Amino acid sequence: MRRTFKQFSMVTAVFALLPVACSFDAASESEKNGGRDGGYTSPDINIDVPPSDGGGHIESDAKQLCATTNPQTMNLPPDILIVLDRSGSMKDKIDGTTCNGGCGAESKWTQMTDALNLFTPTVEGSVNWGLKLFGSASSCDVNTTAEVAPKTLNAAAIKAQIGKTTPGSSTPTTAAVTKAAAYLAGVNDGNPKIILLATDGMPTCGTALCAPNTVTGNQNQCDDANAIAAVKSVHDSMGIATYVIGIGTANGGSDATLTAMAQAGGHPRAGTPAYYSVQSAAELTDAFAAIVGQVGSCSFALSPAIDPQKQQITGVKADGALIPASDYTVVGNSSVQLTGQSCADYSSGKIKAVEVQVICIVG
C-alpha cells in the first residue's frame, strides 16, 4: 500500500514551506496586451523539493501538491469594470444645483459620461473596459451581469450603452459592488480584476438614517456601513480592488463614506481625500488617467492562479531586491499590482525585472 503524507507527518512538518520564485522581465507591447501573439514564454518556476526519506514518495507528492503547472507571470491588461451610478441626483449640476427637468449638458451625468467617452478610446488597447450600471431596471435593483462585458477595443460599445441610458434610480451601492465582484469572479480570462466605482453620493436602498442634506426624500434609507463592508469583503476575500471616484461630492456630506470605501478597496488615492474627488469633466479625465496609469502598467497576472491551499505569495523583488510591502498588493490568487514608487519605477523603465516570491505549503 502506498504510504501517505499522514504516515510521514514528522517529515512533512519539517518541509512544510518550500520556496518558489516566479520571475519576469519588463514586457514588450505584445506581452502587455496579453501575449496574444504567442511570442512570450514564461520562465520556469524553480521548486526546491526536499529529498525522499527512502520511501520514494515525498518528492513527487510535494511537486504534485505544490505546483502541478508552472504559472506564467506577465503584464496583462486589467479587466476594469466601471460601476456607474445612474441615480436621479446625477441629473443635477456638479455643485448640487437642481434643475427643473434636469440640467442637460451641465449635469453630472453628461459631464461624466462625455469625459468617459473621450478617455476610454485612448487606452482601449491596454485596458479591458467593461460597464455596469446601478440601479438597473428599477430604483434599487442591480443586474447580475454587466451591460458591457470587459474586453479590449470596447470604447464604442460603452459609448453606445451610455447613449441609451438616463439617470433616475436610487443609489444601491452595496448591491452594485457585491454583484460587480461576483460577475468579475466569473470572467475567467486570467487578467487582473478591478472595480472602478463612480458615484455622486451616499449609498441608499438601506434602512439607516442619512446624514442631513445628503439625500432628498426619505432620510431613513442610507446604507453607508453595508456599502463600506461590501467593498472591504470584495477586496479581502475575493482579491478584487475597488477604486472610488466621487463626482461633485465636495459639499455633499458623503466624504467620510467615500473615504472609507476607498481605503477598504485597497487603493486609496495618495493625499486627502483618499478617493478621487472630481468637480469637472477635466478632473474626471485626470482621475481616470491616474487610475489607469497604475493598473494599466503595474498589474501582473499569474496564470494559472495559485491555489491558496498549496501556495502563498509572500514577497516581490525588483531587480533582485525586495521591495517594501507597501509598494505592492496581492490581488486575489492570480495577480500582483505594484504601487507607489515601485509602480512609477517600473512604468519609467527603471525597474527591469520583477520576481514574485511564492511559498509552497505542503502537507
For the chain, give the number of residues: 363
Q: How far apart are CA 106 and CA 143, in angstroms?
A: 28
Q: How far apart are CA 92 and CA 121, in angstroms?
A: 27
Handedness of CA 86, 89, 92, 93 (dihedral sign): negative
β-bridge partners, 85: 134
CA neighbor of 112 nearest in space, from 281, 251, 277: 281
**pTM of the model as a whole:** 0.73
The total of other beta-carbon atoms located within 10 Å of residue 189's CB is 14
Q: For cell 507607489, what's the residue?
A: 340
pLDDT value of residue 314:
83
pLDDT value of residue 54:
42
CB-neighbour burial class of residue 112 (10 A; exposed 0-12, middle 13-18, buried 19+): buried
Chain-centroid distance of CA 3 in Å reads 43
Confidence grade of residue 362 (pLDDT, cut at 50, 70, 90) = low
What is the CA angle 259-264-270, rounded to 5?
55
Domains of the chain in start order, with CATH, are 79-297 (3.40.50.410)
Confidence grade of residue 49 (pLDDT, cut at 50, 70, 90) = very low
The residue with greater pLDDT, 1 or 357, is 357
92-118 pLDDT, tens digit per residue, is 998 888 898 889 999 999 999 999 999
Confidence grade of residue 218 (pLDDT, cut at 50, 70, 90) = confident
Q: How many helices (H) and strands (E) in the chain?
A: 10, 14
The residue with greater pLDDT, 156 or 210, is 156
Cell readout for 234 is: 470584495
111-141 pLDDT, tens digit per residue, is 999 999 999 999 888 889 999 999 987 789 9
Q: What are phi and psi of 208, to 5 degrees?
A: -80, 160
285-337 pLDDT, tens digit per residue, is 999 998 887 777 777 777 667 777 788 888 888 888 999 998 887 776 777 87
1-11 pLDDT, tens digit per residue, is 433 222 222 22
Judge whether 74 and 45 are in contact, CB under 8 Å.
no
Judge whether 127 and 80 are in contact, CB under 8 Å.
yes
pLDDT value of residue 166:
92
